[in-house]
Structures are given as structure tokens and as C-alpha cells.
Amino acid sequence: MAHISDVTAQTQTVILDIKDDDSPRPRVFISFVQKLFGEFVGTFSLVFAGCSAIVVNDTYGKPVTLPGIALVWGLTVMVMTYSIGHISGAHFNPAITIALASSRRFPLKQVPGYIAAQVLGSTLAIESIRLMFQLNNDGCSLKGSIYVGNHPSSSNTAAFVVEFIATFNLLFVISAVATDKRANRSFAGVAIGATVVLDILFGGPISGASMNPARSLAPAYIWGCYKDLWVYIVAPIVGALAGAWTYNMLRSTNKSYGEIIRPNCSKEASQDDFCVLRVVDPNNRKLFILSSPTEINDTCNVTCKLA
């Protein structure tokens, strides 16, 4: 339990001496198998919805159009992020998993399992589409046949650059809205889904805007079309790493913890009221301070002093 030391009637700010108690605390545990199943379901749903939109657009006189296809991908990402994000993190993409692991935002030992679940979910989604729409096996020729895989519309260089930039944008936004505690995570799914829509709108006609090695690998395996596949594996991974690490450089701050963490305080509180602020410094030392409302600035920040 915590007890207050050196408190007087005139003291406006005091330090709490903290002693951790041994009372049991409930913990929420999600098994690794549940996370893998979440990644499998999310990747299957994403690839099935997005690629089905492509097939419907090519089969029925292009009623969906490019903006429609982009919206299908973006909305599915948003919906599945809110549905599964609290279980597995809602990666659905090996490039995302690798990039977050490289920046220490995801356990490295879980990367192989996540990638396996994502590739399996994507492969089953593509096979389901092939059977449902009775797509033939001549997709690689791209002559009158519907192929839901990715291929450069012009040169490999242009496709590589587009895939790099699109995935860079995606990971930059994910790192900003989903991994930074200063961000409002309530709208993370909206921001990530909107980024996917924007990336497809400018990158779709050039490279297909895959941004996802699992999404590209699955149709290549089902139809046996491995030409130029390296572009859709290397470019997204490199772009994801660049996006995640670029935001990590911006993440660093020289602000005090009081400027970063906003306590649940009110400037209209009584002068005798105190606001409790819990801070964990880089050395994981627990620091509790009591601050009077008069010491809270206009943005409800408290300047924290390490004990």
C-alpha cells in the first residue's frame, strides 16, 4: 500500500512513498493459439473480400471500379482491425509483423507463427474465390482470364517503387496511431483503413498496391504464376521497415512525462484537492506525485520531477 510522507498544510506538491503489495491482481491472458487464429480469420476475410471485389468488377462489366475496390479493401481492414485488434493486433500482413518486430513493438519469437497464419488464411481465401467463381487455370497469361494476383502494369522498377511507397505510408500510419501511447487509438482503425484506400487509389493501376506479401503469394501459388513475385515480397517488407523506423525517429521526445501524460484532473477543482499522476520512467521506476490544480497548465499537464 502507499502512504504519504512529509505532507504539511502548506505543501502543494508531495511525493508518495510506494510499496508494492502482494495482493493478487487479475490478468487478461490471450493464448498464442488464439492470436494465430485471429490472424488467420482476419487475413482470410481481408483477402476474400478484396479479391472478390476484383473478380466481380472484371466479371460484370466493371460496376465496382477502382475507387470501389479500394473502399472494399480499406473498409475490411477497418472492420477487422476493430474486431480482432485487441486479440492479435490485427496485422494480417507479414510485412507489418516483420516491421513491428524489428522496431521492438512485437515479440520476435511470434513472427514465424504469425506469418504462417497469414499465408494460410490468404491461400485458403484465394482458393475459395477460385472455386466459387470457377476461375480457370490460365490466369498467368492475362489474356481474357481473371487473375486476382499482382503483376506490374509497366516496369518492375515502377511497381517496386509504388509498393515501397504504399507500404511505407501504411506502416508509418500504423506506427503513429496504433503503437504510440500519445495517439488517440479510438480512431486507429479508421486511419489505417483510409491509408489503404489512398494507397490503392494511386498505386492500384501501377502495381496493384498489394502492400502484403501473403496477399500476393497466395494467388501466385494457386495459379503457379511466380514471375515478378519478388517485387511483391521484397518491396513491401523494405517499405514497411522504412515506415516503422521513420516514425520511431519521430517518436523520440525531450518532453517531460508531465507534458506527455495528461492526468485525469480538473482545473476547476478545489485548492485543497489533489490529482494523482502515475509515471513510469525509462528505468521502470514507479513515481507517484500529488499536484494541486494551481500547478496544472492550460492543457492539464503536470511537470513531473523524478524522485
Shared domain check, 174 and 261: no
Shared domain check, 200 and 125: yes
Domain holding 267, by residue range, is: 256-295
pLDDT of 221 over the 70 cut = yes
State pTM to two decimals.
0.74
Is residue 276 domain-resident?
Answer: yes
Which range has highest mean pLDDT (102-106, 124-128, 146-150, 268-272)?
124-128
pLDDT of residue 255: 52
Mean pLDDT of all residues belonging to the chain: 80
Is residue 50 domain-resident?
Answer: yes
Shared domain check, 185 and 283: no
Is residue 214 domain-resident?
Answer: yes
pLDDT of residue 146: 84
Is residue 88 domain-resident?
Answer: yes
Shared domain check, 129 and 87: yes
Shared domain check, 287 and 192: no
pLDDT of 256 over the 70 cut = no
pLDDT of residue 184: 85
194-212 tens-digit pLDDT? 999 999 999 999 999 999 9
Shared domain check, 291 and 228: no
Is residue 305 domain-resident?
Answer: no
Is residue 12 domain-resident?
Answer: no
Is residue 53 domain-resident?
Answer: yes
pLDDT of 224 over the 60 cut = yes
HEC per residue, the chain: CCEECCCCCCCCEEEEECCCCCCCCCCCCCCHHHHHHHHHHHHHHHHHHHHHHHHHHHHCCCCCHHHHHHHHHHHHHHHHHHHHHHHHCCCCCHHHHHHHHHCCCCCHHHHHHHHHHHHHHHHHHHHHHHHHCCCCCCHHHCCCCCCCCCCCCCCHHHHHHHHHHHHHHHHHHHHHHHCCCCCCHHHHHHHHHHHHHHHHHHHHHHHCCCCCHHHHHHHHHHHCCCCCHHHHHHHHHHHHHHHHHHHHHHHCCCCCHHHHCCCCCCCCCCCCCCEEEEEECCCCCEEEEEECHHHCCCCCCCCCCCC
Average pLDDT over residues 37-54: 97
pLDDT of 297 over the 70 cut = no
Shared domain check, 280 and 246: no
How many separate domains does the chain show? Answer: 2
Shared domain check, 189 and 268: no
Shared domain check, 153 and 203: yes
pLDDT of residue 183: 85
pLDDT of 259 over the 80 cut = no
Shared domain check, 128 and 273: no
pLDDT of 155 over the 90 cut = yes
pLDDT of residue 85: 94
pLDDT of residue 251: 80
pLDDT of 25 over the 90 cut = no
91-133 tens-digit pLDDT? 999 999 999 999 999 999 999 999 999 999 999 999 999 999 9
CATH number of the domain to which 224 belongs = 1.20.1080.10
Shared domain check, 262 and 116: no
Domain end marker among 234, 251, 268: 251
Shared domain check, 38 and 120: yes
Is residue 14 domain-resident?
Answer: no
Average pLDDT over residues 273-292: 47
pLDDT of 87 over the 90 cut = yes
Between 285 and 45, the more confident residue is 45
Q: pLDDT tier at 229 (50, 70, 90 boundaries)?
A: very high
The least confident of 187-196, 217-226, 245-254 is 245-254
pLDDT of 279 over the 80 cut = no
